[in-house]
Amino acid sequence: MNLGFAVTRGNSETKNLNIAFNATRKGFHDKLILYTNSIYATNELPTATPHTTANSTGGGARYDHDFSPRVFGFVNGDFLSNALQELNLRATAGGGIGVHAIKNAFTTFDLLAGLNYTHEGYSSFTIPPAPPSTTATVIPAKTDSLAGLTLGDAFTQKIGKGTVITQNLFFYPDLTQTGQYRGTFNFGTVTKLNKWLGWQNSFADIYVSNPPTGTKKNDLQIATGLNFSFTH
């Protein structure tokens, strides 16, 4: 479990909270992974617009089952909401085949390919007028149901006894609206301070090729804080 919190007062008045949870249950021939990440930030100065500067929550699960020492099948589900992109909920379910390109005590590197189905809903919102115009633009709500490909990798590297590096990159070409796509990239490190306490750093990038008009395609998240580890 990762926790980061920051607060400022004086010339700036901000709050920032980041919470993440990752769990893995390994069997002889299978693996279950659960994960979630939430970031919330505000700027509380009276002149600040908007006051909420980040409000995003995501999570999901993936189950792997080995068919051979190198080949495995997987099913996964992912969920994401992003208030500043007006995304109420994006739910993705899919599955496919993976290959353990590297698998030893210190390094794992998996390649995955499959199909997915995505259902997403965006809220309506208003874009304030830009001078000299005095007319606001209303962006209507929209809902999409999409079929797509899942292409990605998952990498873990242990450095000594105290540090773990994780990275994953997933690319989702849209088969329903050809030419559109989504992509996610995550990179993180955890350095143990003792058996249960560590220091974590994380970088995340979520890209959507066709967000609603008036919102940005790219969302970057950088967080650091404490890591609490529970091992059974």
Burial 24-47 (b: 16+ CB within 10 A, else e): eeeeeeebebebbbbbbbbbeeee
Give the number of other CB atoms < 10 A from CB of residue 131: 5
Q: How far is CA 84 from CA 41, 127, 179, 211, in A?
A: 11, 12, 24, 11
pLDDT digits 0-9 by tens, 70-91: 999 999 999 999 988 899 999 9
The yes-or-no verdict on residue 119 having pLDDT over 70 is: yes
The yes-or-no verdict on residue 232 having pLDDT over 70 is: no
Q: What is the model's pLDDT at position 203?
A: 92
Give the number of other CB atoms < 10 A from CB of residue 3: 15
- Model confidence at 170, in pLDDT bands (50, 70, 90)? very high
Q: What is the model's pLDDT at position 138?
A: 86
Over residues 208-232, the mean pLDDT reads 87
Q: What is the pTM of this model?
A: 0.88
pLDDT digits 0-9 by tens, 122-136: 999 888 777 777 788
